[in-house]
Chain A
């Protein structure tokens, strides 16, 4: 039996290049191709690297040439980078996914598509169930720009899955990631000297350790399942306990002035907080990981509290 041929978008990112490295060492994988706008830092991967913009229609001729059976879509922007407008972020997320799926329509060899999406689609709501199961995605209106992006990506993917019943389409819904190497909104928040919190609120936070985030992605490539799957390190941690564990001081701010005050604090080096992140700091969110463990067959090696403890050490 010939080995698998995998294409990874967003291959220049930390998790993208880590996934490529893992798959390259795998005896069942014959070929790994990476696609990104910027080349990866690791020179080993340049041989099969395609430098292209997902939003560019040219990818619908580039991708079929690779004759891959598996596509891992890892180019979803969770937080605008320096100098990136929310408009660009929306374009990369939604138009990028649209172009990628259009390219997949043209490629008859595809059997599996895995998207590294976001648990942000559930939102952060005071009345929410304490653990979101996969079927509870549309319980509340999508309130923020990023949530609407994720909602649109899931709609596009669902439509594709309906049109191609022979392709296994896995939507991984990631909780915010944390880890010693990663640079995410959570790690930036925890690295700042003070951590702004909502006065009187101490929500339950759930994260995914970078190792589990990568492990789940590898497991999903090997054993994809149809539909959405939550990815998180099990358990939750109170926001104030998380801040204290990493040795930072909470800065409680009253709800009505929170957005203005944190914007002012950016001048003294506090990170920018997205709308989603602010709602997370107020109401928190946790997901149920039964499907990840029992259907994809990945048992996370960290719990959320132990991931935070390791980050603090």
Chain B
């Protein structure tokens, strides 16, 4: 019998022993059960605690226990599936408010997830970034719950403003659905950055903007076409057709193992302009263009350094 299996058997035996002792000394069954969980390993205790509702969520619904529990999957994707290479982590502030602005691709928000894992693992002062997710995802069962529990919020300026005022690290994707819904042939060409709403938020709260270039996310779901009929039926912003989706059913949602590079670029300070500058259209568009140009240039640099997309 191998090590972990033996540990599990021993824990189960100890649990039964303490439970019987408890019942023998006249405890009621529920109390005896609670008492005997003491001898279980930490993971089992956590599961039992969750069944009683004894865990914490913050006011945004972020659930750290849950985020930790799913981390092994994300770690696997980060280390072995996508072999993420990260640079420029010193550009991410260790505390206080900041806005990460990245390029968006890949239908499901894997890019946001990998950015979060990068900050958690590579930053000397790790923290969970909060990311803004296209609101359509919040109508979906399971997806909506999972996203909120790992720190996603509805992409609304009111949410971003409140998060920044709470001094959180907030990740946004200014391309929005235009980024994820573009065909494979236009990969790594940044789309229009909306009306620069993210710059307004940064100016209003004085948060520095950290441009983030993500390379690799474009190959995970190469979109060959779209079905406007299916999108209308599902009331989705678009319905992607990739080499595997929807032909393989849920398996089609398994992303391809491309090679990733994430570069955090030099922050653009905004505190010097003052909050009123958020209404200065010229400044907003200038800064927005500056962020876009930085990301686009860093994408090209990282594409060259990556050499091949998959190996």
Which residues on A are within 8 Å of B, measured CB to CB? 126-131, 133, 136, 198-202, 204, 234-238, 240-246, 255, 283, 286, 288, 305
> In the complex the two chains form, is A286's CB within 8 Å of B59's CB?
yes
Q: Is the CB of B154 within 8 A of A204?
A: no
Smallest CB separation, B79 vs chain A (Å): 30
18 pairs from A and B in contact (CB 8 Å cutoff): A126-B139, A126-B144, A127-B138, A129-B154, A129-B159, A130-B60, A130-B154, A131-B59, A198-B141, A199-B141, A200-B145, A201-B141, A201-B145, A234-B59, A238-B61, A244-B50, A255-B141, A286-B59
B76 near A: Cβ within 8 Å? no
Alpha-carbon separation in the docked complex, A127 to B235 (Å) = 14
Contact B55 A241 (CB under 8 A): yes
Between A128, A202, A305, the greatest number of chain B beta carbons within 10 A of the residue's beta carbon is seen for A202
Complex Cα spacing A126 to B50, Å: 25
CA distance A129 to B154 in the complex (A): 7
Cross-chain contact B139 with A242 (CB below 8 angstroms): no
Dominant SS among interface residues on chain A? loop
Interface hits, B61-84 → A, CB 8 Å = 61, 63
- B142 sits at the interface (CB 8 A): yes
Looking at the complex, which one of B60, B135, B141 makes contact with A127 (CB distance below 8 Å)? B135
A130:B144 contact, CB within 8 angstroms: no
- Chain A residues with Cβ below 8 Å from B100 are none
B residues at A contact (CB < 8 Å): 50-57, 59-61, 63, 135-136, 138-142, 144-145, 148, 153-154, 156, 158-159, 162
In the complex, chain B residues whose CB is within 8 Å of the CB of A234 = 59
Nearest B residue to A127, CB-CB? B135
5 nearest A-B pairs in the assembled complex, by CB-CB distance: A200-B141, A244-B53, A127-B135, A245-B53, A129-B158
* Contact, CB under 8 Å: B162 / A131: yes
A241 touches B154 (CB 8 A): no
A127 near B156: Cβ-Cβ < 8 Å: yes
A242 to B61 alpha-carbon distance, docked (Å): 12
Given contact pairs A200-B140, A235-B59, A286-B59, enumerate 13 new A-B contacts (beta carbons under 8 Å): A128-B154, A128-B156, A129-B159, A130-B60, A130-B153, A130-B156, A131-B162, A201-B141, A236-B61, A241-B55, A245-B52, A283-B138, A288-B162
A241 engages B53 (CB within 8 Å): yes
Closest A residue, CB atoms, query B57: A238
Q: How far is the CB of A60 from chain B (nearest CB, A)?
A: 41
List the B side residues contacting A242 at CB < 8 Å: 53
Min CB distance B143 to A, Å, is 8
Question: A126–B158 contact, CB under 8 A?
Answer: no
Residue of A nearest to B63 (CB): A238
CA distance A288 to B161 in the complex (A): 13
Shortest C-beta distance, A125 to chain B (Å), equals: 9
A140 to chain B, nearest CB (A): 12
Q: Note all chain A residues with C-beta closer than 8 A to B154.
A: 126-130
Q: Are B61 and A204 in contact (CB under 8 A)?
A: yes
CB distance from A157 to the nearest CB of B (A): 24
A284 closest partner in B (C-beta): B61
Q: How far apart sit A201 and B60, CA to CA, in the bound complex (Å)?
A: 15
User: What is the minimal beta-carbon distance from B105 to any residue of chain A, in angstroms?
Assistant: 22
Residue of A nearest to B155 (CB): A127
Contact B141 A241 (CB under 8 A): no
The residues of A that contact B60 with a CB separation of less than 8 Å are 130, 204, 236
Tell me the nearest residue of chain B to A254, going by C-beta: B141
Q: How far is the CA of A129 from the CA of B157 in the complex (A)?
A: 8
Name B158's contact: one of A136, A235, A240, A244 (CB within 8 Å).
A136
Which B-chain residue is minimally distant from A235 (CB atoms)?
B59
CB distance from A247 to the nearest CB of B (A): 8
A303's closest neighbor in chain B, by CB?
B59
B260 CB to nearest A CB, Å:
30
CB proximity of B231 to chain A, nearest CB, Å:
17
Nearest A residue (CB) for B145: A202
A127-B135, A200-B142, A200-B145 known; A236+B159 contact, CB < 8 A: no
CA distance A242 to B51 in the complex (A): 11
